[in-house]
Amino acid sequence: MASAMMFVLSGGVAGAVVGAARGSARCPAQAPRATRRHAVVVSMAGGPTSWEEYVRARNAGQVKGGTIEEATKQLETFIAGGGDMEFDGGDSGGGVVGDGNTDLEDQHNSPNVVRGGFGQAQVTGNEQVGRGKVVSAMEARVASTKGNYFGRSTGYAEQKIAEISEEDRRLNRLDEVRAQQLENWHNQRSIHQMNQAQGQGVMYGAPEPYSPPASMYQSQEIPGQRLDGETWKPLVINPSDPVEKTFDLSARVDSSEVVELSIRNAFCTFLPFRCVFTPDSSPFFTATPEYGTMDRSDGDPTDIIVRFTPRQLGSCQATLVFETEDFKYIYKFNGAT
């Protein structure tokens, strides 16, 4: 709405005449001065000067934005769709499709930026997200924006909202906000799986390439790409290298004994790693994942699963090396039946 502007005029025509008459009586040589101030209201040409005039001008189509009634309906539709509650969700309250990485100091570690640059960033992702008519969140060109003002909608939230019962609302099991949060979470998992397929995350899978777990998690048996661009060199262990811990495992033939190693990153950056046994280790020991990327020091530790599955009677040994570009951990394993 155009606002009226107020100007204070000093020395108007009337003031000049009165001042001149009074001044000439006291001092004929003194220039006339104004002794009164006149307030004059000057309005913008063609603009409304009151709320009523603004409403009439807007309803008549003279002001951009549509009529007041149309704006009210749009606001009601926005509130019915969740309103600003769509900012809440699985990506730290953003309500939009993202990989959960909102730290500015960590943008250079984003695989979507480092590996191809902004000009080569891809928006294609995993097709296996949800069921039925739910599509991948990464298909930005075909994703619908209905009912999700700030992000992308894949249809999963609408499915969950349609399934909400009165009992769910009464017991606080599910509501519109939680349904949107679930969709945001699935969208993030879609991006996470895409990064895993590109070798940018910790990949969990079975050694058998055609096993159901390997197919489910899209496991890869290729080395993770180092940050310095170099390839992993042959594994070398010096006699002076310290051993972090020694494990004694016992299992029957064709059965397994499992040990879980939780390794935390000592640095504030993501670090590619490899976790492999030395060539002289017994083949009855396996470790997964063999390659991946460690989270930062303030993130979650990397979990390594070591299995001892003997195929014959006797004892055996193995040496496991967890190696990054900056540090190396060595673990010894003694197996017996």
- Burial label for 168, CB within 10 Å (0-12, 13-18, 19+), is middle
Mean pLDDT across the stretch 33-44? 48
pLDDT digit string (tens) for 211-244? 444 444 444 444 555 655 667 778 878 888 899 9
User: Residue 140 and residue 102: Cα distance in Å, rounded?
Assistant: 19
This prediction has a pTM of 0.37
Architecture of domain 245-336: Sandwich (2.60)
- Burial label for 42, CB within 10 Å (0-12, 13-18, 19+), is exposed
Q: Which SS3 state, helix, strand or coil, does residue 177 take?
A: helix
Amino acid at 61: G
pLDDT digit string (tens) for 150-171? 445 667 788 888 888 888 888 8
- Can you say whether residue 314 is alpha, beta or left, with left for phi > 0 and alpha for psi between -120 and 50 degrees? left
Q: Nearest CA to 108 among 263, 296, 322? A: 296
E strands of the chain, at which residues? Answer: 5-10, 37-42, 245-250, 257-263, 271-277, 285-288, 291-294, 302-308, 315-323, 328-336
User: Residue 287 and residue 323: Cα distance in Å, rounded?
Assistant: 13
pLDDT digit string (tens) for 165-209? 888 888 888 888 888 888 888 777 777 776 666 554 444 444 444
Amino acid at 268: C
Delimiting residues of CATH 2.60.40.2310 domain(s) in the chain: 245-336
HSE-up (13 A, CA, CB side) for residue 36? 13
Instruction: Give the pLDDT score at 178.
Output: 84
